[in-house]
Amino acid sequence: MKSDCVKKGVATAPQRSLFNALGLTKEELDKPLVGIVCSYNEIVPGHMNLDKIAEAVKLGVAMAGGTPIMFPAIAVCDGIAMGHTGMKYSLVTRDLIADSTECMALAHQFDALVMIPNCDKNVPGLLMAAARVNVPTVFVSGGPMLAGHVKGSKTSLSSMFEAVGSYSAGKMSMDDVEDYVAHACPTCGSCSGMYTANSMNCLTEAIGMALSGNGTIPAVYSDRIKLAKHAGMKVMELLEKDIKPRDILTKEAFENALTVDMALGCSTNTMLHIPAIAHEAGVEINLDIANEISAKTPNLCHLAPAGHAYIEELNEAGGIYAVMKELDKLNLLHTDLITATGKTVGENIKDAVNKNTEIIRTVDNPFSKVGGIAVLRGNLAPDSCVVKRSAVVPEMLKHSGPARVFDCEEDAITAIRGGKINEGDVVVIRYEGPKGGPGMREMLNPTSAIAGMGLGSSVALITDGRFSGASRGASIGHVSPEAAVGGPIALVKEGDIIDIDINANTINVRISDEEMEERRKMWVPKESNVSGYLARYASMVTSANTGAILKKD
């Protein structure tokens, strides 16, 4: 066993004395040591139940003959961090989580790991760590929040943000806003729509690193506790069979994840995280493959914010395996791949049943014949940008309008809420990319303000930052190269006409190459005044189109 180097033989007597200080018995040390990486904290609603999940995992490990030992991972609540300096610290935690988990796992020579994440950067950070450490690993998330109920309708966090925009536009009273405050987020768990956290938890299941139900069983259901016990038991089986993350995280597995991504209509943040996780597994993902997969993958689900269904309903309809079973009818999946269940993808989904064809459309009756995410290119984004096509109203799939240019999120919010944005405008928010932010802030506040003010079907928003999975509308992010390195988005001027054609995968600003070059000569980089970890991150991070990974040098 890997852990023998810290517990076997006379040379390890000092280490064994420290295990003795922990209260571990000889019987426990004779068993495999299983690290339980628990992201429990008291500030993130999606993580406040993870202590219960961890106890269930530990019981499962112990029942199957292992010795579970827990250690922590951090997590940021993107909703609480939204709209202020705190959002600069969200994406950057992905690498802190990966680095610190790698350190803990290898310093203590665990034989296997069970990862317990739930929210946005916590899931990909731990997947990155799993690929690095490469010991048998199973994921079990804390589960999604139940949908809220306001005035007889289901709702979620995205409605809460849009309520602020409606109030600013005089369309909602303060009492109505407080009604949303009290009822939009009714339980623990990751926010109830197909936002980034739930997207990543569903894709963890699709890629083969978690058991069935990981992405969809609500946080408050007892089935979630049972799933955690099974995850603890399953990791011992993977240890016995020597099935490691890099056996699972193959190029074909990432293709499966992208295919399910398109069918579900996941958050655009998956276009950052999938390449970053793949990189750690030794697989390089070019975002152009996303359009290739999207072109042949039907969009089968319209979950909030794209529609009015929530994760709990996807769970009731059969979950991720039911979606995959539909996709397999078109031979869109690699079904011979090994997974964390100890079985292949094909074996996993063989008995899956689609119990509600309104929540999970059949492949012959999709919401769209193409996938939920599109990658665009053009003279405004030579290296690409992304949009959640499934959350764009039909009339905004092709749009041209004058640029309204802002050099930070706060200035854009002030203009939107001040009624200074008009129908047809294209709001451009720049210097919010991985380096320029730094940290690539989510633009949920401006997109929600636009939607809440009734401009969602006439105004587009373009940024080198990114979007929450809760954003809807023609919200185009990850513009690369970003403004901070002199990308074309830095050269756009107020009033320039921007042409967007999502179905054609193009985005251009109507200026000549010669004019672009003249502006480039005049461009002066924006000074950054960040310090500490953000400064270090900004000096190392790469472009969004490469997953915003950190340079190895």
Catalytic (active-site) positions: 468
**Cα–chain-centroid distance for residue 469?**
8
Q: Which residues contact 539 (CB under 8 A, 6 or more apart)?
A: none
Total length of the chain: 553
Q: What angle separates helix 174-183 from helix 157-168, to the nearest 10 degrees?
A: 170
Return d(Cα 275, Cα 277) in angstroms, integer.
Answer: 6
Shortest CA distance to 270 belongs to which of 352, 339, 206, 364? 206
Give residue for tokens 């809807």: 472
Burial class (CB in 10 A: 0-12, 13-18, 19+), 503: exposed
Is residue 148 within 8 Å of 155, Cβ to Cβ?
Answer: yes
How many Å separate Cα 79 from the centre of its chain? 13
**Per the structure block, which two tokens stand in for 483?**
């403004």
Amino acid at 66: G
Q: Report which of 296, 278, 297, 294 is spatially closest to residue 286, judged by C-alpha positions.
A: 278
The answer to whether residues 112 and 35 touch, using CB atoms and an 8 Å cutoff, is yes
- For residue 523, report the phi and psi dihedrals to the nearest 5 degrees: -70, 135
Cis before 438? omega within 30: yes
Question: What span, in angstroms and rounded, lies between the C-alpha atoms of 181 and 179?
Answer: 5
CA dist 27 and 220 (Å) reads: 35
The 8-class DSSP code of residue 22 comes to T
Answer yes or no: are the C-beta atoms of 219 and 145 closer than 8 Å.
Answer: yes
Element holding 226 (H helix, E strand)? helix 222-241
